[in-house]
Copies of this chain bind each other. A is one copy, B any other.
Amino acid sequence: AKTFNILVLPGDGIGPEIMAEAVKVLKVFETPERKFELRQELIGGCSIDAHGKPVTEEVKQAALDSDAVLFAAVGGPKWDNQRRGLDGPEGGLLQIRKAMDIYANLRPCCSTSPSASITKEFSPFKHEVIEGVDFVVVRENCGGAYFGRKVEEATYGDDGRMGLFRSRDPTSYTSIRRSGTAAQPPWPVISLDKANVLASSRLWRRVVDKTMAAEYPQVKLVHQLADSASLILATNPRSLNGVILADNTFGDMISDQAGSIVGTLGVLPSASLNGLPGDKTLKTRPYGLYEPTHGSAPTIAGQNIANPVAMILCVALMFRYSLSMEDEAQRVEDAVRKVLDSGIRTSDLGGKAGTKEVGDAIVSAL
């Protein structure tokens, strides 16, 4: 029997509730031939409370030893105005991204996923604007302004450069380079930067150019200024169909904005991987961390009203990218679609169901 080791990190706020539903769904797929060994640990605020830091070395090691990590959400007012950055609750997430070297954050965005009925109701856009939208944002996740080592406040990088772009440091260079391998022909790659202003963006552009020319000469590569891209994403998103590649900061902005296509973060999962699906240089299936795109929603925590769908769809992404279980991934997505279309929804989606009822309904549909 094959055993997958899954690290489960519920975190703070609504994290534990929605994770419980995801674990229920995961268990449906246990068979005599396939076991899931779950290890649950603290991250974020609850880890600060217990250990004085948002993630311990032990948990980082557990992540490295696992086949995949399920992460829910971190943070809350309790820890605001205390330590922030790498030492705050969100620092737990940043540190584990870095420790796992999961440099590629993928956010699929498709106007019919998870369910056309959800997009129709919740998208702020006119129907004809978003019809047929289908892209993946690939955000560089382990570099850029996010990871300048802090010598003193407001200093980026110990040698005075922004993290990703310390050009004397080959690892950071490699980290951009690898993001350039996202393409799955025939999708075009649309790379965002501000090369007209920022030297860091000019480096980004050169590396993307070189990588794409060397590894995917047949793939169409388009450079798009990041500010224009944020406008295009809101006016003609179909024209960005393909792989949207961006650094940590621009990627953070653009991937949140991408949530507007479907119109509700409550149903949007994401994957952070140590390699891109289809990357020829990768020896194994990419391992990764799977997290909903929404936050810890502390104001509604503990009331059985949080929407577990994004977290449950993380299980599908994990099946797809890390566990070679594509059929099972699709079964989860189909079950979610069926339940949402039938009207069994939490209140954020206009329904009356509780967190547990939605989870149970998805399990029944499976």
CB–CB B161/A202 < 8 A: no
Q: Which residue of B lies closest to A88 (CB)?
A: B196
Q: How large is the interface on A (under 10, 10 to 19, 20 to 34, 35 or more residues)?
A: 35 or more
Contact of A85 among B153, B162, B198 (CB under 8 A): B198
Contact of A160 among B90, B156, B256 (CB under 8 A): B156
Contact with B along A243-262 (1 / 0, CB 8 A): 00000011011111101100
CB–CB B160/A154 < 8 A: no
Name A's interface SS: helix
Chain B residues whose CB sits within 8 angstroms of the CB of A155 once the complex forms:
160-161, 199
Task: Say yes or no for A265: interface residue by CB 8 A criterion.
Answer: yes
A256 to B146, CA, bound (A): 23
Chain B residues whose CB sits within 8 angstroms of the CB of A197 once the complex forms:
84-85, 90, 94, 146
Contact of A199 among B94, B150, B255 (CB under 8 A): B150
A257 to B145, CA, bound (A): 22
Whole-angstrom distance between the Cβ of A67 and the nearest chain B Cβ: 28
Task: Say yes or no for A159: interface residue by CB 8 A criterion.
Answer: yes
CB–CB B167/A161 < 8 A: no
CB–CB B153/A234 < 8 A: no
Contact of A154 among B84, B162, B234 (CB under 8 A): B162
A120-163 at interface with B (beta carbon < 8 Å): 124-126, 129, 145-146, 150, 153-157, 159-162
Task: Say yes or no for A227: interface residue by CB 8 A criterion.
Answer: yes
CB–CB A230/B256 < 8 A: yes
CB–CB B231/A256 < 8 A: yes
Task: Say yes or no for A226: interface residue by CB 8 A criterion.
Answer: yes
Contact of A156 among B150, B162, B194 (CB under 8 A): B162
Contact of A196 among B84, B156, B157, B256 (CB under 8 A): B84
Task: Say yes or no for A200: interface residue by CB 8 A criterion.
Answer: yes
Task: Say yes or no for A235: interface residue by CB 8 A criterion.
Answer: yes
Chain B residues whose CB sits within 8 angstroms of the CB of A84 once the complex forms:
195-197, 202
Instruction: Given A126-B126, A202-B84, answer yes or no on A167-B154 (Cβ-Cβ < 8 Å).
Output: yes
Task: Say yes or no for A228: interface residue by CB 8 A criterion.
Answer: yes
CB–CB B165/A161 < 8 A: no
CB–CB A75/B196 < 8 A: yes
CB–CB B160/A159 < 8 A: yes
Instruction: Given A165-B154, A196-B90, answer yes or no on A230-B230 (Cβ-Cβ < 8 Å).
Output: yes
Chain B residues whose CB sits within 8 angstroms of the CB of A154 once the complex forms:
161-162, 165-167, 199-200, 203
A-B contact pairs, 16 of them (CB 8 A): A85-B199, A88-B196, A124-B234, A125-B125, A126-B126, A153-B203, A156-B160, A157-B160, A160-B160, A226-B253, A230-B253, A231-B257, A231-B259, A233-B257, A234-B257, A235-B259
Apart from the given pairs A146-B198, A230-B230, A231-B259, 14 other A-B contacts in the complex at a CB distance below 8 Å: A84-B195, A85-B196, A124-B125, A124-B234, A124-B235, A145-B162, A145-B198, A146-B197, A150-B199, A156-B156, A156-B160, A156-B162, A156-B200, A249-B249
